[in-house]
Amino acid sequence: MRTPDPAEARQFIDSSRFVWFHKMELAPGVITPGVSDIGWLAGAAGLPQDLSGTSVLDIGTANGGAAFMAERRGASDVVAVDIYPPSWFGMDRLIELLDSRVRFVQASLYELPEVLGRRFDLVLCWGVLYHLRHPLLGLDALRRLTGARCSLETAVADREVDPGQPVVRFYRRDELSGDGSNWWAPTTTALADMLASCGFEVGRLVPVPPGEPASRAICDLVPAEPEWPAICYEVPLRGVPLEA
């Protein structure tokens, strides 16, 4: 993977016509014009500096900020996923510019276990959960993709609802950040319960910002046994796979 020189990076940004979502350092001193600071997010999530030899799945990759960062930190196998085609966020052009080995896959989270057919050492799922019409199905799929660790960042409703209650806020239109693709925000309590139900052990759940009702949360997760099959069915339904 190469690092372009500053002049090349600035020319690339100036000539780009795709959507910039990630704010990231494309070359020394050259920052892309996105709104989501990928460096801050990686630090808040505790993304390891050394990912040598690991496989990484970046779900909701947008401009690939997390995927490219993982590759620079030594990940040997990086797959970047988004529902939009690679030209929408410029992933095709960025992969070429950086001479990157990141593999881009256009798919939804729901279908990823079947599309990829494997688990990854580290799964990054930043800024995705609140876009899902069916969040529990999304978390079930996420569990099937996680081999060792998952890092999840999402909007939470602690500023709108008692954070101690396991409540999920539904946004019918664009009430959440003026974005009509945002549907759900759980309280941090509900988020922890949802994750446990779907088979994740929550190692760390950090509300953001700290010290006040949160609008976002970042979680460190490791795979565990999903709770919901045993609760829903005393005897598994024939022909219906319940194991995550």
Provide the CATH number for the domain around residue 173: 3.40.50.150
* Cα dist from 37 to 19, 49, 106, 226, whole Å: 15, 17, 23, 33
Q: Which pLDDT score is estimated for 244? A: 45
Domain that holds residue 134: 107-232
Phi-psi region of 53 (alpha: psi -120 to 50; beta: other; left: phi over 0): left
pTM of the model: 0.92
Counted domains in the chain: 1
Q: Are 170 and 226 in contact (CB under 8 A)?
A: no
Alpha helices in 155-218 (DSSP H): 188-197
Indicate whether 204 belongs to any domain.
yes
- Residue 209, pLDDT score: 77
Length of the chain, in residues: 244
Give me the pLDDT at residue 231, please.
84
**pLDDT the model gives residue 8:** 97
What's the rounded Cα separation, in Å, for the pair 79 and 133? 23
72-107 per-position pLDDT tens digit: 999 999 999 999 999 999 999 999 999 999 999 999
pLDDT of residue 233: 65
Cβ within 8 Å of residue 47, ≥6 positions away: 66, 69, 70, 73, 124, 151
Contacts of 40 (CB under 8 A, 6+ apart): none
Q: Residue 24 domain-assigned?
A: no
Q: What are the mean pLDDT values of the chain's consecutive 10-residue runs (244 residues total)?
A: 96 97 97 95 95 98 98 98 98 98 98 98 98 97 98 96 95 93 96 97 87 86 92 60 50
| Residue 51 included in any domain | no
Give a yes or no: residue 19 inside a domain. no
Examine residue 136 and state whether it is found in any structural domain, yes or no: yes
Per DSSP (E only), the strands in 30-119 are 30-31, 36-37, 55-59, 77-82, 103-106
Summarize pLDDT for 168-191 with one digit per residue, the tens. 999 999 999 899 999 999 999 999
Residue 192 lies in a domain: yes
- d(CA 85, CA 64) in angstroms, rounded, equals 13
Residue with tokens 């892309």: 32
**Any domain includes 21:** no
